[in-house]
A and B are shown apart, each in its own frame.
Chain A
Amino acid sequence: AQRVTQPEKLLSVFKGAPVELKCNYSYSGSPELFWYVQYSRQRLQLLLRHISRESIKGFTADLNKGETSFHLKKPFAQEEDSAMYYCALLSGGSYIPTFGRGTSLIVHP
């Protein structure tokens, strides 16, 4: 069965510090991975997907198949990055996204 693990419920950093939100997955096939973000009082929205290899709002994420990880990184955190972040996995079998439990990122001034 596919599973997404976000080991940190809460990540607290100061503005300007590097940020890494961890995501590990279990799936035997070729997965597609995504990060979704929910800012305060806003709806959940797609942040980035691994297949696009894009940088959004300074965030990047690299799929590491050897370590089955898809960590989200940003070199210099900003206060506006404070939000709830969910890692999601889309497998070739079900085509239904499976979400992790989420990590709350707080960036202090």
Chain B
Amino acid sequence: DVKVTQSSRYLVKRTGEKVFLECVQDMDHENMFWYRQDPGLGLRLIYFSYDVKMKEKGDIPEGYSVSREKKERFSLILESASTNQTSMYLCASSLEGNNEKLFFGSGTQLSVL
């Protein structure tokens, strides 16, 4: 069974902290994505990566960075967390050339106090 695993289900951080959200997939997928999911706003793409060490900005990259040192792992970094980054974060992966089907993780609910 395919799997995208996000390391934390819930996180509570303080304003100004550096936050790491980790995502690992075991399907040997080339493409990986970070979305944030907010009620009424749907899914908005933060960053995506189509290969190791490659990254592209999505629609809302401000305040975020990413790291992909290994194919299976895609990390989202909040350099200095702010309260408006309180959200559900979803990681997803897909095969190269087949973004028709994204496989999602179960999400990380981040609260920034």
Contacts and interface: CB of A to CB of B under 8 A. Distances in A.
Interface of A: 6, 9, 32, 34, 36, 42-46, 49, 51, 86, 90, 95-102
B40 A101 contact: yes
Interface of B: 4, 33, 35, 40-45, 48, 58, 90, 92, 97, 99-102, 104-107
A43 B42 contact: no
A49 B40 CA distance: 23
User: What is the predominant secondary structure among interface residues of chain B facing chain A?
Assistant: strand
B43 A99 contact: yes
A51 B99 CA distance: 13
Contact of A95 (B35, B41, B99, B101): B99
A45 B41 CA distance: 18
A54 B33 CA distance: 26
B100 A45 contact: no
A96 B57 CA distance: 11
